[in-house]
Amino acid sequence: MRWRLAVRAAATETRARVRAGRGAHTASAPLVVGPHAGVEHENSVVFLHGLGDTAAGFEAVAHHWSARMPGTRFVLPTAPTRPVSLNFGHP
């Protein structure tokens, strides 16, 4: 029962910070890999990471795939960090 109260309190605090404009930290510029020099840009892939990860977590994958698809641009944005009730209000 205590953990439910802690989760509820953290969620309430998070909602209040978001409403006040303080809930999210600014995200950095997206990481872009490819297309290779001298190769025409044919298509783009946007990689979206999951909770607790960043674009850097997929950078090696993007470079690996870029070597096999030289005309593809891989865009890896990093989402803003914000506390979530799943993590008891921690980012």
Given a contact cutoff of 8 angstroms between Cβ atoms, the answer to whether 28 and 81 are in contact is: no
Q: Write the pLDDT tens digit of every residue in 35-74.
A: 888 999 999 999 888 877 888 888 888 999 999 999 999 9
Give the predicted TM-score (pTM) of the model. 0.61
Q: 60 or 8: which carries more pLDDT confidence? A: 60
What's the sign of the alpha-carbon dihedral 23, 76, 62, 33? negative
Q: Write the pLDDT tens digit of every residue in 12-41.
A: 655 565 555 544 445 578 889 988 889 999
Quick check: 7 pLDDT over 70?
no
What's the sign of the alpha-carbon dihedral 43, 57, 30, 37? negative
Q: Which distant-in-sequence residues (6+ apart) come within 8 Å of 85 by Cβ?
A: 7, 10, 11, 14
